[in-house]
A and B are shown apart, each in its own frame.
Chain A
Amino acid sequence: MWKLLQIELFKIFKRPRTYIAFGAIAAVVFLIQVALKFDGKSYIDLLMSNLKDSFDFNDDFKLDLLNGYLICFVILNTLLIQMPLLVALISGDSIAGEANMGTLRLSLTKPISRTQYMLVKFLASVIYTVALLIWMAVLALFGSMLIFGTNDMVVLRSEGIEQIQSFDVMWRYIAAFGYAAVALTTVSALSFLLSVFAENSIGPIIATMSIVIVFTILSEMNIPIYDQTVKPYLFTSHMVAWKGFFYVKADAEGTTINGSIENLPAIMRSLSILLIYIGLFFGSAVWVFRKKDILT
């Protein structure tokens, strides 16, 4: 099993297209960092615009806000929406790409069960997804910490702002990246399932993105009838729950409580739903693939 996984990873990381995603992330992170380095104050002004009537921030305070932790939060907000496409590039290609190349039939004449084959393929896709996130963490979190330094982190919410003390931030990022890995694995599993039905990778990639876009629109729409009937069951509604790690509890005086999470049960519920989706998508993919006649 380990040997087969090594082969899959070798194949993935030997392909030039694999590095498109890594390059795209590096480019976006770099552009955001450069923009905020040279014009961060304007960005903070924009963020604080709806609070300026309630609070009066001086320029030094604004510059303190603009630290590595906040920059990473901004980057995560921007990039995690786009990353499903980058994940689908590899997952959508995993079975359909082999079928298209003609290597699927050769691989399946080897003494490997189809379930084992699928498991290895899926694990390789998950490892690729995690590798993308680690790459993003290195650039967005550690890179920003290096460029902008560290300080207390301020999180803007509709009802105001929350200040998380510097020492209380890092574990939240670790948890957020971990959650993001599960969220993107859900997309990976969907793309993987669609890949079983196709004979070239374009179809599953486009289909995955279409589903993600439609579900995201439904998740974001404020239509009361959807709030209870549709939204709670869409995986896209739960993909953004990583933000919950940065929403903290406050005491009676309004001071944030270190180490607290405002609504951990909601995060865990979202996590469970994503895990169920992963199981459902992957289980269906294996079930279909085991029955499939290989005609390519």
Chain B
Amino acid sequence: MSSIIQVKDLNKDFGEIKAVSNLSFSVPAGQVYGFLGQNGAGKSTTIRMLLTLIKPSSGTIQIFGMELQKHRKEILRKVGAIIERPDLYKYLTALENLRIFGIMSGIKISEKKLMEQLAMVGLADRAHSKVKTYSQGMKQRLGIATALVHDPELIILDEPTNGLDPQGIADIRNLILHLKKDLGKTLVVSSHLLSEVELIADSMIIIDKGKKLVEGKVNDLFDPSETVVEVKTINDEIALEKLKVSQLGQFILNKRNDAILLKLHREQVPVVMKEMVQMDIGILSFHSKHSLEDYFLSLTTANQHVETVAN
């Protein structure tokens, strides 16, 4: 499958701070590509570099097989994006906003087409209302409409479900899947809601502190033979101390606010549970979790875990 985006050895420094470090990845055509990382991991900086808002310190970005810096206009004509919040002109109506960004995208769009775009995101009946009267969810949907107004081949959505209620999140998820399946678009979606990405992404990258941790197809990355177990105890500190000095210490993944996370093979779960009981660790609950979120946490908190355990 051909790649729509190819990023190689991308770096971005803000003075002493290294926001992105030797990042390389490629986004396959016709897929939803998840861009995962904790806050401050470098997701938005990378996305801004893909959209020429930030100049890379070094490295190359190719989109549609063309060098981004050399063919900026040609590439951006085929890209639609929302970055973080979908901020629009609040004193203008939805239709006026859409028309403005349509014209800026370099195409002539009829009033009928604009209304169709608004209908697609469920805002046709509020087309003539000023954006300042919109709810957060409506602004988000209008932001997506502005990203799609010129029928781009590549759509980049940075945190598209931010500030939305569950129904709003479901609507955006369905819209993303519709864009991929029915219209054949390629989408790059970053989100802090990892469970959301799990539901929509075909491939993904996980970055932390500006570095790539892992990249690949979601199904391949997620090893079904492993699981993350969340253990709640009477006293986590004592439990951790006991685990660290035992042979179970190797399975400690992380310590959350109210639980200890262990990463285990499925067949190890009953054995470890039995041993913890024998070690007289006051177990309140023992819950096996198996999701992308746990996988993500296992990678992004690994360093923190090492420091915690070492201390």
- Which residues of the partner chain A approach B91 to less than 8 Å between Cβ atoms? 14-16
For residue B82, CB closer than 8 A to chain A, the reply is yes
Give A45 Cβ to nearest chain B Cβ, in Å.
49
Give bound CA distance, A91 to B106, whole Å.
25
How extensive is the interface on chain A, given as a class?
Answer: 20 to 34
Name A98-113 residues within 8 Å CB distance of B: 101-103, 105-113
For residue B54, CB closer than 8 A to chain A, the reply is yes
Q: Cβ of B83 and Cβ of A109 under 8 Å apart?
A: yes
Query: Which DSSP category, helix, strand, loop or mixed, fits chain B's interface?
Result: loop
Q: Cβ of B101 and Cβ of A294 under 8 Å apart?
A: no
- Which residues of the partner chain B approach A14 to less than 8 Å between Cβ atoms? 91-92, 96
Give bound CA distance, A3 to B104, whole Å.
8
Residue of A nearest to B44 (CB): A295
Give A196 Cβ to nearest chain B Cβ, in Å.
15
- Bitwise interface map of A from 97 to 131 toward B, beta carbon under 8 Å scored 1, else 0: 00001110111111111000000000000000000
Name A4-46 residues within 8 Å CB distance of B: 4, 7, 10-11, 14-16
Give B132 Cβ to nearest chain A Cβ, in Å.
11
For residue A53, CB closer than 8 A to chain B, the reply is no
Which of B53, B92, B106 is A109 in contact with, Cβ under 8 Å? B53
Q: Cβ of B104 and Cβ of A7 under 8 Å apart?
A: yes
Q: Cβ of B104 and Cβ of A105 under 8 Å apart?
A: no
Residue of B nearest to A8 (CB): B100
Q: Cβ of B79 and Cβ of A109 under 8 Å apart?
A: yes
Q: Cβ of A109 and Cβ of B51 under 8 Å apart?
A: yes
Binds A, one of B69-77, B214-222, B235-243: B69-77
Name B50-95 residues within 8 Å CB distance of A: 51-55, 72-74, 76-77, 79, 81-92
For residue B105, CB closer than 8 A to chain A, the reply is yes
Give bound CA distance, A107 to B96, whole Å.
14
Give bound CA distance, A34 to B116, whole Å.
55
For residue B48, CB closer than 8 A to chain A, the reply is yes
Q: Cβ of A108 and Cβ of B106 under 8 Å apart?
A: no
- Which residues of the partner chain B approach A4 to less than 8 Å between Cβ atoms? 103-104
What would 25 A/B residue contacts be, using CB atoms closer than 8 Å? Answer: A3-B103, A7-B100, A10-B100, A14-B92, A102-B84, A102-B85, A103-B88, A103-B89, A105-B87, A106-B81, A106-B82, A106-B86, A106-B88, A108-B51, A108-B52, A109-B53, A109-B76, A111-B73, A111-B76, A111-B77, A113-B72, A291-B55, A293-B48, A293-B53, A294-B53
B residues with a Cβ closer than 8 A to A are 48, 51-55, 72-74, 76-77, 79, 81-92, 96, 100-101, 103-106, 146
